[in-house]
Amino acid sequence: MAIITAKDLSFAYDGKTVLEGVNFALSVGDYLCVVGENGSGKSTLVKGLLGLKAPDGGSIVFGEGLKPTEIGYLPQQTALQRDFPASVREVVLSGCLNGLGRRLHYGPAERERARMNMERMGIEELADTSYQALSGGQQQRVLLARALCATKKLLLLDEPVTGLDPIATGEMYNLIKLVNLCDSITVVMVSHDIHAAVRYATHILHLGQRQLYFGTAADYKESAPARRFLGGSRL
């Protein structure tokens, strides 16, 4: 059974359709890269999957016991977050909020979960450091650890390597792949970087205000949308 199924999905702002004809299904452990130019509807699809924007038509169905509030989301960084006084531990711990239910405060189980995910991302020794003092790559690893606290099944990453230097970018991609392979966590990643997309992902979804391609990454390399996207050169 699929963990996410999108069927004839479309989105509109003020009655104007911005994305339509989206059909895809992902199984547990799949790694989907969503590619497309600016304004192609990638961010809208992310909002739709998170339940922050209601679809104009069609449906999103979650399977395998995944609840819509258990998606590990890594948002694009905002200027607000960068100068926010918060320790790494506080940020990671806030990912455990959806597991609290009716409880008001974090308990030992949440603290342990946060510690484990910091260890997994290699940021355990930074736990008491201020988030704003970290490098871009370290900040993204903190946000990935927070996302992992929020989910056991699905990560949704919105441009996770934007603004990172090549070394930090490579590290980030490897960490995401590691989590995908070792823990069978399904990954949905929005990206500009089409070369990395076909290298790491198992599936590609190419958007251009409608669905231009959905299928495996291997087939995508030979497809017409990929060639057009790259202006004739081959992947």
Partner 1 sequence: MSELARMFSYHFMQRALIVGVLVSLCAALLGVSLVLKRYSMIGDGLSHVGFGALAVASAFHLAPLAAAVPVVVLAAILLLRMSQSSRLKGDALIALVSSSALAVGVISVSLTTGMNTEVSSYMFGSVLSLSRSDAILSVLLSLAVLLLFAAFYPRLFAVTFDESFARATGTRAARYNTLLAVLTAVTVVLGMRMMGALLISSLIIFPALSAMRVCRSFRSVILCAACVSVGCFLAGLVASYFLSTPTGASIVIANLLVFGLCSLLGMRNIH
Q: Minimum CB separation from partner 1 for residue 15, in Å?
A: 17
User: From CA 196, how far away is CA 194, in angstroms rounded?
Assistant: 6
DSSP letters, 140-158, are HHHHHHHHHHH-SSEEEEE
CB contact at 8 A, 9 and 23: yes
Q: Minimum CB separation from partner 1 for residue 9, in Å?
A: 18
Between 101 and 231, CB nearer to partner 1: 101
Between 15 and 85, CB nearer to partner 1: 85
Between 67 and 221, CB nearer to partner 1: 67
Structure tokens belonging to residue 45? 């699809």
User: What is the Cα gyration radius of the chain?
Assistant: 18
Q: Which amino acid is at 175?
A: L
Q: Minimum CB separation from partner 1 for residue 47, in Å?
A: 9
CB contact at 8 A, 172 and 161: yes
User: From CA 218, how far away is CA 229, in angstroms rounded?
Assistant: 16
Q: Minimum CB separation from partner 1 for residue 194, in Å?
A: 25
Between 52 and 178, CB nearer to partner 1: 52
Q: Which residues are registered as beta bridge partners of 26?
A: 4
Helix segments in 20-71, DSSP class H? 42-50
Between 69 and 174, CB nearer to partner 1: 69
Q: Minimum CB separation from partner 1 for residue 36, in Å?
A: 20
Positions touching partner 1 (CB under 8 A) are 50-52, 67-71, 73, 75, 78, 80-81, 84-87, 90-91, 93-95, 97-98, 100, 104-106, 128-130, 132-133, 146, 150, 156
Query: CB 23: neighbour CB atoms within 10 A?
Result: 13
